[in-house]
Amino acid sequence: MDKKFALYGCGKAGLSVALALKSQGYEVVGCDSRSLNSKEMGSQWLACPMIKIPEEVKENIPIMIGVSEDAIPDVDLLIGKGEYVSGRVVFHLSGALPSRSLNRCRLSGAKVGSLHPLMILPDPLTGARNLRNATFAIEGREQAVAVLKEMALSISGKFFIIPVKGKTIYHIAAVNASNNLVALLAESMYLLEVAGVPRSETGKAFQSLVEITVKNFYSEGPVQVLTGPVERGNLKMVEAHLRTLSKLPKSKEIYRILCLRALEIAGEKHPDRKKIYDELEKLLK
Ligand SMILES: NC(=O)c1ccc[n+]([C@@H]2O[C@H](COP(=O)([O-])OP(=O)(O)OC[C@H]3O[C@@H](n4cnc5c(N)ncnc54)[C@H](OP(=O)(O)O)[C@@H]3O)[C@@H](O)[C@H]2O)c1
C-alpha cells in the first residue's frame, strides 16, 4: 500500500494527523483549504505543494478531510463532484458524523471512511505529538478501513473498528466518557456545596477518590470496583437519599438513573442478592 495522501482542510486536526503521518514516512502529495491563509500554512507545516482537491490529486491517493462537522456536507459536494474520487479512499476525522455523511463522494464511487483520533489536538505540533498515544476509532467501507488501519498502526499502533451503523452510538459513548463525566463531577461538587462545604474546598475534596476509582475501573473492571449502598443492597440508605433529594429534582433524577445502572453491575457481582436488588429496583423506578 502506497504511503501517500492529500489533505483538504488545514485546521488543527487535519494538520496534526497529517504531520503525525508524515513523521512516520507518509508523503503528503498536497494540501487544500477554504482560505488561502490556511492553505499556505498547511503547505509550510507539511512541506507540500498547495493543490486543488480533487482535480489535482492523482488516482488512488486517499483524500483526508480535516474540516469541522458543519462544513462536511459542503466539502463532500465539492470533492465528490465529477469522477475524480471514483475508486479511491476519502475519509474525514469527525467523531460525531459517520462516513456515510460523505454521501456525494460515495455516490461518485469513493470508498468512504472516518478516522477519529481520541485525542486533544490544540495545534499541529502538540497535536502530532499527542497522537503518538492516541487510540483511533475507525469506521467505513472495507477498502477505507484497510487504509485507515495502516495509518493508525503507523502513528500509535492503537485503534478499534466501529461497525458502520454504530458511529452515532460510539460518539454518545465518547460524550459519556468525557463530557458527561465532567458534568457528573460538577454535580458532586454542587451537592458538596449544598451540604455546606465551602466552595474553596469542593474542588479538591473528592480528587483522590475519583482518581483511584478511575484507575481501578481500568485495571479491575466495573464489577470489581463497584461498592456503595446499591452494591450492598442497603434499601434504607437509598430510600433516605431519595427523600433528601426530593427538594433537588434534577439531582434526584441523576442519582436515580445512575443507581439503576449501578444496580445492573451489582447484579453481575452478586447474583445471590437478587431479592434485595429487585426491591431496590422497584424503589428506584
Ligand atoms: N481539534 C481536536 O482536538 C480534534 C480531535 C479529534 C477530532 N477532531 C475533528 O476534526 C475536525 C476539524 O476540527 P479542528 O479542531 O481541526 O477545527 P479547526 O481547527 O477549526 O479547522 C476547521 C477546518 O474546517 C475548514 N472549514 C470550516 N468551515 C468550512 C466550510 N464551510 N467549507 C470548507 N472548509 C471549512 C477550515 O478551513 P479554513 O481554515 O481554510 O477556513 C479549517 O481547515 C472536526 O470534525 C473535529 O471533530 C478535532
DSSP string, 69-96: GGGHHHHHHHHHSTTTTTTSEEEE--SS
How far is Cα 244 from Cα 92, in angstroms, rounded to an integer? 48
| 250 CA to centre of ligand 1 in angstroms | 35
Banded pLDDT at 1 (limits 50, 70, 90) = low
Last residue of a domain, one of 123, 141, 167: 167
* Cβ neighbours for 97, distance < 8 A, ≥ 6 positions apart: 69, 72, 114, 167
The number of the ligand 1 atom at minimal distance from the alpha carbon of 13 is 16
- Can you give the pLDDT at residue 237? 98
Q: What is the pLDDT of residue 204?
A: 87
Binding site membership of 75 for ligand 1 (Cβ less than 6 Å): yes
Cα(9)–Cα(34) distance, rounded to whole angstroms?
Answer: 7
Q: What is the pLDDT of residue 208?
A: 94
Same domain, 154 and 194: no
Is residue 34 within 8 Å of residue 60, measured between CB atoms? no
Ligand 1 site, residue 42, Cβ cutoff 6 A: no
Of the residues 34, 125, 130, which should be mutated to test ligand 1's pocket, given the most ligand atoms within 8 Å of the CB? 34
* Pocket of ligand 1 contains residue 33 by CB under 6 Å: yes
Protein residue closest via CA to atom 25 of ligand 1: 67
User: What are the grid coordinates assigned to 207, written together?
Assistant: 480528587
Domain boundary among 136, 167, 198: 167
**Does residue 101 sit in the same domain as residue 198?**
no
Look up the pTM and report it. 0.88
86-133 pLDDT, tens digit per residue, is: 999 999 999 999 999 999 999 999 999 999 999 999 999 999 999 999
Q: Is 72 in the pocket of ligand 1 (CB under 6 A)?
A: no
Q: Is the CB of 284 under 6 A from ligand 1?
A: no
The tens digit of pLDDT for each residue in 49-95 reads 999 999 999 888 999 999 999 999 999 999 999 889 999 999 999 99
Backbone phi, psi, residue 238, to 5°: -65, -40
Q: How many structural domains are present in the chain?
A: 2
> What CATH number is attached to the domain comprising 91?
3.40.50.720
What's the gap in Å between 162 CA and the centre of ligand 1?
Answer: 22
Residue 18 lies in a domain: yes
Span 143-148, average pLDDT? 97
CA of 12 to the centre of ligand 1 (A): 7
Residue 199 pLDDT > 70, yes or no? yes
Which residues form the domain of 102? 4-167
What value does the mean pLDDT take over residues 1-17? Answer: 95
Burial of 101 per CB tally in 10 Å (0-12, 13-18, 19+): buried
Query: Same domain, yes or no, for 121 and 190?
Result: no
Report the C-alpha gap between 221 and 228 in whole angstroms: 16
Q: Which of the listed residues 109, 133, 167 is the one where a domain comes to its end?
A: 167
> How high is the pLDDT of residue 232?
97
Write down how long the chain is.
Answer: 285
The reply to whether 84 and 119 lie within a common domain is: yes
